[in-house]
Amino acid sequence: MTGFVSFVGAGPGDPELLTLKAVDRLKRADVILYDDLASGPVLLHARPGADLVGVGKRAGRTSPKQHHVSRLLVDYAKGGGRIVRLKSGDGGLFGRLEEELVALREAGIAFEIVPGVASPLAAAAAVGIPLTRRLLARRVQFVSGHDVSGNLPSDLDLSALADPGALTVIFMGKRTFPALAERLIATGLPPDTPAMLAEAVGTPDAAYTRTGVAALAKRLADSPGDAPALIFFGPLADGAADG
């Protein structure tokens, strides 16, 4: 009998941010295929005897190819039982969810999607700021900082990213942000536009640094570091502390 797959959003890493549905699916799973950023204490909810299979991808490290992960997911599901595909944050937000959904649909395997707390929401909550601000930030935009080759995407809408009325959150962009910042400033974004680097969100190693766009670009050009991070810039609210 073909199994059933639950795509579960693990949130940013803090197990207290898991939804009740996510915990239920983890406790009942026979197999859990998990991302690197969705491991650690979150996996303590797995039942004894469940197979735990790491399939995470990290920039700059040897990682499973997406087609291999999708094939593995289909193979486990064809073996029957309850399968959880555990993704960091919310799987529908830069989580390569679509490729895996297509693979399951083509194989005739049933699934559900359990949303998770997205990392930008968790980061903003951690430092006590809103993502939107009345009269100042009516729009929030989420952007990937690199393309499939790891470079800065060539088709970014720079005028939209430089919009003073929008708060922008860059995923996976520490290494490409210096080049992006240079282009944004040339497009008209003030170099001192408020920016925040949010590293290792939802973990004990979380760090949040407030600065300006140009200063952050220089810092990341000198030393990007290895911690997973988000970059915020635009009309950020006051109140977030460095550290």
Just list the catalytic residues.
35, 57, 172
What are the tokens at 163?
A: 């919009």
CA distance 165 to 137: 5
Strand-pair partners of 72: none
Tell me the C-alpha distance between 157 and 162, whole Å: 9
- Between vectors from CA 109 to CA 101 and to CA 32, what angle results, nearest 5°? 75
As a whole number of angstroms, the distance between CA 99 and CA 69 comes to 10
Counting DSSP H helices and E strands in the chain, the numbers are 7, 10
